Structure 1
Amino acid sequence: MAQTKFDKQVETAESLMFGIGRFLAGRPMDGAKRTDATFWRSGTRVLPKVEGRVSRSSYRAGWKRLTFRISTLAAIGAGGYQAGWVHQDATVATAQEIWADPDPAIAALEQIGIAAASTAGPSRSLRTTTPQVTSGRKQSPGLSRSSLLGLLHPTR
C-alpha cells in the first residue's frame, strides 16, 4: 500500500521530533548507541556487537555533548545576529566588494587551504605509526629517517 501525502508528513514530523529529542538529550544524532556512556557519566568501553571505528564524542557524557551543541548554536546565532542585523550595512558592503573583485578573497582562501593541508597532512601520517614494543614496555612511536622523508617528499 502506497503512503499518502499525510503519512509522509507525519513520518517527517516524527523524525524531526526524534531528532530534537536526541539533540536535547545529548544522545548520538543517528540514534545508534556505541558506548556505555550515559547523560551524567562518560563512556569507558565500546558496547558488544558494535563494529567499526567509534568516535571520541561517543565516549563523552551526554551533558558534555549537549553543552557543546548548545554553545555552537549560540555562537552561530550570535555571529549571524551581528553580521545580519547589527552590522548589516558593513556586511552588504563587504559582500559587494567581494562580488566585484573576488581575487583577494580567493587568494586568502587558497592560503588558508594550504595552511590547513600542511597542518593536517603530517599529523595524519604521524598517527598511523604503530608504537614500538621493546622488553615489554610500550614506547612512543618514533620517526625513522624513511618516514621523515615520506613526510617531506610524499611521492617517494
Structure 2
Amino acid sequence: MTTPESAPAAPFSYAGLQAVAPAATAALRALSQSVDAGLDKGLVELVKIRVSQINGCAFCTAFHIALARRLGVDAAKIDLVAVWRDAGLFAPRERAALAWAEQLAGMAGGPMPEDAVARLGEVFAPDEVVHLTIAIATINAWNRIAGGLRFPPPS
C-alpha cells in the first residue's frame, strides 16, 4: 500500500518533472546556472520575473520573486517590474535588459527590430548580451514546461 509519504511525486510538479525527466531537468538547471558568472543575479531575477509574467507562468513568477527577495533586490522593483517603463525606478541596464526580455519573449508576434541588439550594446558588453539572451531563452523554456504542465506555485 502506498502512503502519502511514500507516494511518488505528481508528474505535473517540479518534483514530478525531476522524477520523470531528470536529465532534462539537470540540463535546464545547468543552462540556467551557466549565466551566473556573466551577469548581476538581481538583474537576471528581474528579467526572469518579467518573462514569467509575460508567459503567464505562476510557478516561475512566484519562484523568481522569492529568489529576488532573498538576493536583496529592491522590493519596489520587484513589485513594479510589470510596469517598468512607467515606474521610474529602473537603471539604464535594467531597462535595456527588460526591453530585450520582452522582445525575445514576444518573438512570435513579429520580426525582431534590426537595431534591438545594437541598443543593448550601449549598456552591455557583447559577452553580457550573450549571457542575458541565454538567461531569457532558458526562462522561456522553464515557463513552457512549468506553465504548460500547470505546476502549482511554490509555497
TM-score in same-fold range (> 0.5): no
Max Rg structure? 1
Greater length-normalized contact order (CA 8 Å, ≥ 6 residues apart): 2
TM bucket normalised to smaller:
under 0.3
Give me the TM-score of the superposition, normalised by structure 2: 0.21
Which one has the bigger helix percentage? 2
Q: TM-score, normalised by structure 1?
A: 0.21
